[in-house]
Structure 1
Amino acid sequence: MLSSLPRPRTRRQRLTTAIGASLVVIAGGTWLLLGTGPQPGDHAPMPICAVDGFTLRADVDADGHLDEINEGTTSVVFQRDDHQTTVRVDDARGFWQKLRGASKDDMATRGAFGDFDGDGYLDLAIFYSQRDEGDSPRDNMVVHEAHYGPLARDLSSDRTGTIRLGSSSFVHEARAIDTNHDGRAELEVFQSGGDGSVSRYIGRQDRGGVSVSRKETDSYGVSDRPYREPNALAYGTCDDR
């Protein structure tokens, strides 16, 4: 009796197997590359305080040390012992998000720090969108998401949520404010409205993310949107802590 021998694989089957193996290797390498980034600590939330109208102190990465947040430049100076590391909000974009925006012109990152979900940790709202072309808004927004604290030292987070907007036009500025004085931050978004105007919207924590009202609150010229109120979240001064 002749034994049953396996049929030789076709060229197409060999090519499919090779491609599959390559994808596994690439996926594994990507996971190692992207999955070994900085991680936040597990320290309980520490009080947030204001140094001045544009500077906060908070334990952003939950390591038990207060860090400094400059709301004017949307950057964080992480403090550990005698070492300082400055991270800008643009660094919070993930690998694929940076890749998606690399080929586009006039892209800009905007962000705002505030405790949107009320758990005591500082969160980050981040936008990455394309600037207007003349008075015509471009409908190109790569990133519109909230990173919930504690944040890692690159301002990333394992817990993120979508910021739901009615439009994908350029975000000129984002601010954390407390309009109803409940101690939980709302998100103020200044977004292109066409014909050189800027529309102001308010967003609140909702369904695991931030929902921005589709109703325009106010409209301004590009250069005359209102001055940011110092310490709009009414944190106590750091001298009192």
Structure 2
Amino acid sequence: MLSSLPRPRTGRGRLAAAIGGGLVVIAGGTWLLLVTGPQPGDHAPMAICAADGFTLRADVDADGHLDEINEGTSSVVFRRDDHRTAVRVDDARGFWQKLRGASKEDMSTRGAFGDFDGDGYLDLAVFYSQRDEGDSTRDNMVVHEVHYGPLARDLSSDRIGTIRIGSSSFVYEARAIDTNHDGRAELEVFQSGGDGSVSRYLGRQDRGGVSVSREDTDAYGVADRPYREPDALGYGACEDR
């Protein structure tokens, strides 16, 4: 009859168990880092306002100072005392993401600033994709993700969610809009449909990222996609705050 008593652990077994336990602790700690929210400056959210139709003012890095977001050029001017630092959406791509696109021609970054998850901090949706070759699409999208605020001064974030989108063709433009006026931004994406066409899709916060729907799609020519409506997010004017 076989004994039912557990076999004693050897030194190697005890070491493996200890390492395994350590990995669980490390993994748990990493998970806590990923979900513990606001950074980098840990200041409470400040009101976002519109300086004009293409310029927002918001505390992007949560340091207690309003920064300036130019949606026309997809750039941020960080302000601290008398210092101003300009950062473009291109800088939001990480080292490996830049490396993956370095060998390819006609890669372009597109971004949209808006509070997608409704926590009061401004987030950044980023696409990095390859332009069409003539009327033929190139299915090469290296980056499709949301950096949740507060953002660091290179527009990076420890909290990153994927943008679930059905095609990897070129993204002409990304915009943050508030279609249902609930104070939470939706993501409007204008993406190549091939043969000189552009398709418009709408994405919403979903399962830790943004899901872009392919239902109710609108199609346009490259040159006649809708003009961006000023104050599409409904922020009040800065002079009124």
- Alignment TM-score > 0.5, same fold: yes
- CA RMSD after TM alignment: 0.7
Q: Where does residue 139 of structure 1 map in the other structure?
A: 139
Q: Where does residue 162 of structure 2 map in the other structure?
A: 162
Q: Where does residue 79 of structure 1 map in the other structure?
A: 79
Q: Where does residue 114 of structure 2 map in the other structure?
A: 114
Question: What SS does the aligned partner of 1:190 have?
Answer: strand
Q: Where does residue 180 of structure 1 map in the other structure?
A: 180
Contact 1:192 1:198 in 2 (8 A): yes
- Aligned positions of 1:1-241 closer than 5 A: 40-241=40-241
Deviation at 1:215, TM superposition (A): 2.0
Question: What SS does the aligned partner of 2:120 have?
Answer: coil
**Matches of 2:197 and 2:224, distance apart in 1:** 10
**Matches of 1:41 and 1:94, distance apart in 2:** 21
Question: What SS does the aligned partner of 1:223 have?
Answer: helix
Count how many residue pairs are aligned between Structure 1 and Structure 2: 203
1:198–1:216 CA distance, 2 compared to 1 (3 A): farther
**Matches of 1:197 and 1:156, distance apart in 2:** 32
Deviation at 1:216, TM superposition (A): 4.7
**Matches of 1:51 and 1:45, distance apart in 2:** 18
Question: What SS does the aligned partner of 1:99 have?
Answer: helix
Q: Which amino acid aligns with 2:104?
A: K
**Matches of 1:83 and 1:200, distance apart in 2:** 39
Task: Could you tell me which runs of 5 or more consecutive residues in structure 1 were left unpaired when the two chains were aligned.
Answer: 1-38
**Matches of 2:238 and 2:138, distance apart in 1:** 41
Q: Where does residue 16 of structure 1 map in the other structure?
A: none
**Matches of 1:172 and 1:40, distance apart in 2:** 31
Shift >6 Å, 4+ stretches: none
Q: Which amino acid aligns with 1:166?
A: G
Deviation at 1:40, TM superposition (A): 1.9
Deviation at 1:214, TM superposition (A): 1.8
Q: Which amino acid aligns with 1:218?
A: D
Cα deviation code 1:192-221 (max 9, x no counterpart): 001110000000000000000022521000
**Matches of 2:205 and 2:118, distance apart in 1:** 9
Task: Could you tell me which runs of 5 or more consecutive residues in structure 2 were left unpaired when the two chains were aligned.
Answer: 1-38
Question: What SS does the aligned partner of 2:127 have?
Answer: strand
Cα deviation code 1:40-93 (max 9, x no counterpart): 210000000000000000000000000000000010000000000000000000
**Matches of 1:205 and 1:191, distance apart in 2:** 19
Contact 1:126 1:144 in 2 (8 A): yes
Q: Which amino acid aligns with 2:167?
A: S
**Matches of 1:50 and 1:169, distance apart in 2:** 32
Q: Where does residue 13 of structure 1 map in the other structure?
A: none
**Matches of 2:221 and 2:109, distance apart in 1:** 20
- TM-score, normalised by the number of residues in structure 2: 0.83
Question: What SS does the aligned partner of 1:217 have?
Answer: strand
Q: Which amino acid aligns with 1:156?
A: S
Q: Where does residue 30 of structure 1 map in the other structure?
A: none
Q: Where does residue 26 of structure 1 map in the other structure?
A: none
Question: What SS does the aligned partner of 1:213 have?
Answer: strand
**Matches of 2:100 and 2:54, distance apart in 1:** 31
Contact 1:199 1:216 in 2 (8 A): no
